[in-house]
Structure 1
Amino acid sequence: MIDRIKWTDRRFDFTFPAELYPETIERLRGTPARLEDRIGSLPAEALQRRDGEKWSMQENAGHLLDLESLVMERLNQYVIGATELHAADMSNRKTDEAVHNSVPVASIPATFVNSE
């Protein structure tokens, strides 16, 4: 398996022009459809397989759903001009406790759509 850069080690540059923000928002809105396209036809065995202690594909998809409430809260904070954003739970407790491998995979993108 290819070694990946840990999420917490990544650095992001948000200096792109404001004209790109609408495209970024549309890309975020398209997450459920892209998720369904990429995982919808895979067998549960492949989706739920873990590599050691690393999350399975299904758990990673569920993690995106778990982060949705944080994303929405932070967007609201941007709108009101908050000087500080709500902190993320870097322990990912919500994802670990959700046991995403125990639910039908189709429920993950469907829940995204219903939470908009």
Structure 2
Amino acid sequence: MKKVKPQSFVRWFDRQFDSNTGSEYFDEFLQRLEHFPSVLNKLLKSCPIEASTRKMGDKWSVNENIGHLILLEDLWRIRFRDIKEGKPDMSPADLNNTATDESSFNNMLFEELIKNLASERHKTIAMLQKMSEEDLLKTSMHPRLHQPMNIIDLMYFVAEHDLHHLYTIQSIIGNMENI
């Protein structure tokens, strides 16, 4: 099992990631990615609707965090494809998260959002399952981190991004209980 440094409450953009992770971690990371929507669903089973849409200052609500994850699934697939196709650089993300901020995720039920996330994640999992051993070893440069990443590295990056938002959602729910 890959050692995970406890960086859960480090700002996402301050996180550091190793690269050149071996293909022996493929199944572990695939499982983390595949099971994340159900982990999120379990966490939110007892979350009141009003708590899922409440914002704390300028921070995203629970629903907006989930919506952000949905929006990023397409980027993850594009980046996996970039690596597989041997592109020197991965496609960039909108670091301002404009699409998340402009979406109306608070007008949706979190159950619907999780269902959408599971559907999008299923497409990503299906894509990853078709990768060859040779594909797993190719690298492309991550645009923000400025380091080469292979498919496994990016899988870990995505799984850690999921975890970052899971911790954020747990914190939001915990803060709601204290109000």
Distance in 1 separating the partners of 2:27 and 2:86: 19
Question: What letter matches 1:57 in structure 2?
Answer: V
Percent identical pairs in the alignment equals: 33
Of the candidates 104, 108, 121, which is equivalent to residue 99 of structure 1? 104
* 1:73 correspondence with 2:67: no
* 1:108 correspondence with 2:108: no
Structure 2, unaligned runs of 5 or more: 1-8, 124-179
Residue number in structure 2 paired with 1:35: 40
**Larger RCO: Structure 1 or Structure 2 (Cα < 8 Å, ≥ 6 residues apart)?**
2
Tell me if structure 2 keeps the 8 A contact 1:59–1:100.
Answer: yes
TM-score calculated relative to the size of structure 2: 0.58
Distance in 2 separating the partners of 1:41 and 1:76: 37
Residue number in structure 2 paired with 1:19: 24
Q: Give aligned pairs, total.
A: 113
RMSD of Structure 2 on Structure 1 (CA)? 1.5
* 1:48 correspondence with 2:46: no
Deviation readout 1:9-51 (Å, 9 max, x if unpaired): 1112235432112211221121221121112331012212222
Tell me if structure 2 keeps the 8 A contact 1:40–1:105.
Answer: no
Question: What letter matches 1:97 in structure 2?
Answer: E
Deviation at 1:75, TM superposition (A): 0.8
Distance in 1 separating the partners of 2:67 and 2:93: 16
Distance in 1 separating the partners of 2:30 and 2:102: 29
Q: Structure 1 residues 58-67 or 85-94, which shifts more?
A: 58-67
Structure 1, unaligned runs of 5 or more: none
TM-score calculated relative to the size of structure 1: 0.87
Distance in 2 separating the partners of 1:17 and 1:109: 30
Deviation at 1:114, TM superposition (A): 2.5
